[in-house]
Each structure stands twice: as structure tokens, then as C-alpha cells.
Amino acid sequence: MYDLAALREEFPVLSTCIYLDSAATSQTPRCAVEAMNAYFFEYAANHGRGAFRLARRTTEEYERTREHLGEFLGIPADHLVFSRNTTEAINLVARGICWEKGDEVVTTALEHHANLLPWLALRERGVRVKVVPQEGGYVQEGGIQEAVGRATRLVAVNHVTNVLGTVIPVEEYAQVAHDAGAAILVDAAQSIGHMPMPRTDLFDYLAIPGHKGLLGPQGTGALYIADPDTLAASCYGGGMVADVSHDQFTLLPCPARFEPGTPNIPGVIGLGPAIGLVKALGVGAIHRHEREVGERIHAGLSAMPGVTVYSPLGSTVISFNVAGMAPDFVAVLLDQKAGICVRSGMHCAQPLTQSLDPRGTVRASVGCYTTNDEADALVRAVGEIAREKATA
Ligand code: PMP
């Protein structure tokens, strides 16, 4: 059984507000905070750099999270590189591929800036970027197949869109990319921890957030690299080398070669038990719960005069607008009237969001800890705001 009351005990902050911005970042459970406290208060040292007891324990705990994440995703832990966030994971790929002039990246009109700007920035090196159009939050039928060709080096797509919550058939696109001899990168920022994943070993690169569906602390993420030899290191320094002289250096294998410098040790150590919590709840159960709450919000807002809902039914990321009101103003009112935290504006996906409304949207997103009562409170508060606007 999905014990929501017990789960919410893990997140004390939830008693102070109605948090509906989990698509941006999740609240952090006690078990993660306690693991970070233990690191700071009991054994803090640097990772992989010491023979003394504290340093050994730090390295063990840090590497334990890598093992957990690998097990959780069904991929080998030594193909997982820790990063600050999803954005950095994607940039590791953009900077690590040895691009040639004329190479092409195929992406879609549904992407977060994190999965668009790194590719656009490559254009000055002669890389071409093709953006496949979208329709109603989905990639245009046959669009990827049509866009992928002999020059395509990489297909870069998100799995669940952060504006509309629509699910993209990334397994099918992996096949299309591989049939054309191209690689595929999947931005899993909105899916991992929220829903059962397709077989992750189908992808060449998987950009993983630690601080969203996995409930880890902010400043955590990872990149899965199927074949580490396809990427060069793009940041250099200590901890990544086997041998150094003044003329040359030999790099360590993955993951060390992609993790120079002192990483976010407490964050990664906190991420381990957070993944444990997600595992204990079960992603299938989390998905069912989040969908139920999402559908409640969707039904309530869709039936409301003066409110436009952009996300399809079944989504757990619900974008909407109140007629005649700026999204930011609606977000401020929701906070003032009912302590409801929602995102407003472009959601770092300006092309997609502006295609819905040039001013952006209000976005309510559900987490594993969101209740039906919170969904109802949002619907009531939006209803009040819409009525006040209509009668003003
Ligand atoms: N891609 C998508 C689809 C996202 O929703 C987000 C976060 N909103 C990102 C990438 C960027 O994630 P991060 O903040 O972990 O860099």
C-alpha cells in the first residue's frame, strides 16, 4: 500500500506549504539530510584521495551511491559519472564528442534549454542542428525518422516534457538513431524516479537528475555513458589521472576521467538513501499515485470557466493559464492566498512555452508526496482567482 501519511513524515517542509513545483526540484527526505549530516559531523574528508580512515569511509559512501544508482537503473555503476545536475550531464556529451564539420544533431521542439543550447552552441564549430517540430506536446508523426540521415551523429530528446508532461517514445527513437548509425542521448530529467523507465541500456547517453524524481539533494545528477570511449574528457585536473609528467598525462578509466576535482560529496552521499526511499516506494506505485493526483488537478482546472489547460489528461506536469492574467501574477496570488508553490513563466523551454502563450504559463507539478487534498486546494484557489478576475 502507498502510505502517503508515513511518506510525508520524511519531508517536514510539506507541513508549511503546498509544494507543487517538483518538476523544478523535489523536496529532500530526512534520510538524505541525515546521511549528509552524518558525513559532515562524523567523517567528512575528500573522495578517493586519502589512506586515512575518514577518507576511506567518504570514498566508500560516495561509491555506494554509484552502485545504488546503477542497480536502480539496471546499468553498470562504472558507466555512471556524477554531475552537478542534468544540464551538466548533457554538456559533458556536447563537449566530449569529437565533432566534425557537417555533423548533425537532431533534436525536437519540445526540449528544455538544457537539451537545446548545448547543441546550438556547437554550430560555430560547423555542426548542424535540426529541430523536429511538435504538435500538441508530441513530436510530429514521422518527424524523427524524416530528420535522421547519414550526417546525423546524435539524436538528443527528452523523455517527458517539462512544460506539458507528455511522454516521448524514446525507445522507438533509439532504434531510428541506431539504424542510421547515430547515437542517442535521452534527457530523463522528468522521468527517472517518477515512472518505470524503458531499458536504459538502449541509450548511448542518459542524463539523470539527482534532485528531482530520485529525491536527492540539489547539486546532484549523473550521466550514463554506454561506451566511455565515445567521449573525451572536457575538464581537467586532479583525481582523473593515472600518471603525469611535465610533458604528458595518462587518464584513468571512466568514471574517474570525467570527475576531476572535489565533487559534491555530501550531495552524492545524500542521494544514496533517497534512491533507497524511491525503490522502497516502487516507481510503479509512485507513477500510479502521481497520475491520480495529476488527473484530479487536470479535471478540476479543465472544468473551470476562464482557465485554459494545455497539458493532456494523464500528465503530472500541468500547464495552464487564467484568462487575462499574467502567469507570474497568478503564481504570486496562489502563494499569498493559499501557500501554494507553483512555477510560472517560460519553464526554461521558451520556444515550446511561447507556442502555448507568449506570456508563458502557470505550471503545477506533482511529486510522490502530493496529496489529493493539495490538488483540491489548488483547484479551489485557481477557481477563486478566475472568478475574482471575471467579476473585476
Ligand atoms: N531537462 C528537462 C526536461 C528539465 O525539466 C530540466 C529541469 N527543469 C532540465 C533538463 C535541467 O535539469 P537540471 O536542473 O537538473 O540541470
For the chain, how far is it from start to end, CA to CA, in angstroms? 46
Residues designated as active site: 348
Residues 215-240 have a mean pLDDT of 97
Does domain 283-391 fall into CATH 3.90.1150.10?
yes
Rounded to the nearest whole angstrom, what is the distance from the C-alpha of residue 245 to the centroid of ligand 1?
A: 39
Grid cell locating 364: 503545477
Q: How confident is the model at residue 198 (pLDDT cuts 50, 70, 90)?
A: very high
Of 113, 134, 160, 190, the one to substitute when testing ligand 1's pocket (max ligand atoms within 8 A of C-beta) is: 190
Residues 200-209 have a mean pLDDT of 96
Rounded to the nearest whole angstrom, what is the distance from the C-alpha of residue 113 to the centroid of ligand 1?
A: 8
Rounded to the nearest whole angstrom, what is the distance from the C-alpha of residue 87 to the centroid of ligand 1?
A: 6
Could you tell me the residue ranges of all domains in the chain?
30-280, 283-391
Is 365:347 a contact under the CB 8 Å cutoff?
Answer: no
Residues 369-389 have a mean pLDDT of 97
Q: Which residues line ligand 1 (CB under 6 A)?
A: 23-24, 85-87, 112, 114-115, 158, 162, 187, 189-190, 209, 221, 348
Give how far the C-alpha of residue 317 lies from the chain's centroid of Cα atoms, to the nearest Å: 13
Of 290, 289, 261, 286, give the one whose Cα is nearest residue 275. Answer: 286
In 3-state terms, what secondary structure has residue 34?
helix
Helices (H) and strands (E) in the chain, counts: 12, 17
Ligand 1 atom having least distance to the Cα of 89: 16
Q: Is the pLDDT of residue 273 over 80?
A: yes
Ligand 1 atom having least distance to the Cα of 88: 16
Cα(108)–Cα(92) distance, integer angstroms: 20
Rounded to the nearest whole angstrom, what is the distance from the C-alpha of residue 191 to the centroid of ligand 1?
A: 11
In sequence order, what E strands does the chain have?
A: 18-19, 80-83, 104-108, 128-132, 134-135, 138-139, 152-158, 183-187, 205-209, 221-225, 241-244, 249-251, 307-309, 317-322, 340-341, 343-345, 361-365
Ligand 1 atom having least distance to the Cα of 348: 8
Is 220:74 a contact under the CB 8 Å cutoff?
Answer: no
Do 30-280 and 283-391 show the same overall fold? Answer: no
Cα(181)–Cα(191) distance, integer angstroms: 26
The phi and psi torsions of 341 (rounded to 5 degrees) equal -100, 110
Residues shown for the chain: 392
Class of domain 30-280: alpha beta
Give how far the C-alpha of residue 252 lies from the chain's centroid of Cα atoms, to the nearest Å: 28
Rounded to the nearest whole angstrom, what is the distance from the C-alpha of residue 243 to the centroid of ligand 1?
A: 36
The pLDDT of residue 392 is 81
Of 21, 84, 112, the one to substitute when testing ligand 1's pocket (max ligand atoms within 8 A of C-beta) is: 112
The pLDDT of residue 61 is 97
Q: How confident is the model at residue 50 (pLDDT cuts 50, 70, 90)?
A: confident
The pLDDT of residue 15 is 97
Ligand 1 atom having least distance to the Cα of 87: 16
Q: How confident is the model at residue 1 (pLDDT cuts 50, 70, 90)?
A: confident
Convert the pLDDT of each residue in 184-195 to its tens digit.
999 999 999 999
Average pLDDT, the chain: 97
Q: Is the pTM of this model over 0.95?
A: yes
In 3-state terms, what secondary structure has residue 239?
coil
